């Protein structure tokens, strides 16, 4: 087996219960946390304020770590003629690129920064050839990936897959549940309360208290839900390193 060959998915994924908390319930929990009365809906100025704080808090929370519940595996939406793949818009970043060998196993492509990648000679490949496979990839943007050597037809392009961290947002319907595990709701509430306290209540001391609670909760979540490790490579060194 090659050093970077895989016969199983790269990530150890922890299955966590999905949230049962709706947007309205989360908003009212934030309001109760800061000693405000709950609302029947979020159509008022106060409701829009707490919604905005929840949205900001959710984005901050998902950026705190490579949470396993945000991982997704997908193919490219399209390829251009020089081996650049366009992925879906709803991702934060690419974690890993793999291709499927003729025996059905998956090999991990090695990441290079753009300058090192451009030094390579870009050539197309045929997956039916047993000695010539794609080896490298680089990122041109958050959802643009170049592969070298690159596939030249739809059959070979379908053999390249991307492990990504997806982007999430608040639901638009107040009765819809939040798109995160239930264990993360408490941290989300604390972060939203911190932001509301400083933005609208103008209470720095209260904001600081909620901020400290948020940091403690996030650290606890990191300890319980550490992401799987991936590997990065150097073009010039044959040893494996951590990403």
Per-residue pLDDT tens over the stretch 30-69: 999 999 999 999 999 999 999 999 999 999 999 898 888 9
The candidate with the shortest Cα–Cα distance to 135, out of 102, 168, 169, 101, is 101
pLDDT grade for 13, boundaries at 50, 70 and 90: very low
φ, ψ of residue 195 to 5 degrees: the values are: -70, -40
Can you give the pLDDT at residue 7?
A: 36
Can you give the pLDDT at residue 158?
A: 92
Per-residue pLDDT tens over the stretch 110-141: 999 998 898 876 556 655 555 457 899 999 99
Per-residue pLDDT tens over the stretch 216-234: 999 999 998 765 444 444 4
Pairing of β 106-108 and β 84-86: unpaired
């Amino acid at each position: 087996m090659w050093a970077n060959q895989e016969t199983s998915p790269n990530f150890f994924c922890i299955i966590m219960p999905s949230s049962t908390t709706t947007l309205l319930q989360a908003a009212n929990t934030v309001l109760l946390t800061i000693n405000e009365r709950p609302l029947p809906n979020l159509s008022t100025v106060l409701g829009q304020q707490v919604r905005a704080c929840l949205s900001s808090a959710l984005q901050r929370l998902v950026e705190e770590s490579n949470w396993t519940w945000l991982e997704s595996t997908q193919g490219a939406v399209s390829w251009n003629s020089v081996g650049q793949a366009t992925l879906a818009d709803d991702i934060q970043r690419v974690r890993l690129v793999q291709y499927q060998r003729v025996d059905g196993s998956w090999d991990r492509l090695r990441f290079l920064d753009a300058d090192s990648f451009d030094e390579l000679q870009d050539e197309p490949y045929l997956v039916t050839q047993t000695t010539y496979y794609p080896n490298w990839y680089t990122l041109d943007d958050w959802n643009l990936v170049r592969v070298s050597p690159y596939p030249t037809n739809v059959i070979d392009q379908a053999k390249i897959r991307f492990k990504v961290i997806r982007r999430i947002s608040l639901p638009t319907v107040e009765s819809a549940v939040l798109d995160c595990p239930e264990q993360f709701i408490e941290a989300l509430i604390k972060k939203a309360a911190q932001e509301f306290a400083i933005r609208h209540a103008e209470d720095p001391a209260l904001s600081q208290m909620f901020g400290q609670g948020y940091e403690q909760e996030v650290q606890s979540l990191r300890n319980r839900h550490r992401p799987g490790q991936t590997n990065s490579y150097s073009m010039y060194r044959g040893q494996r390193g951590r990403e």
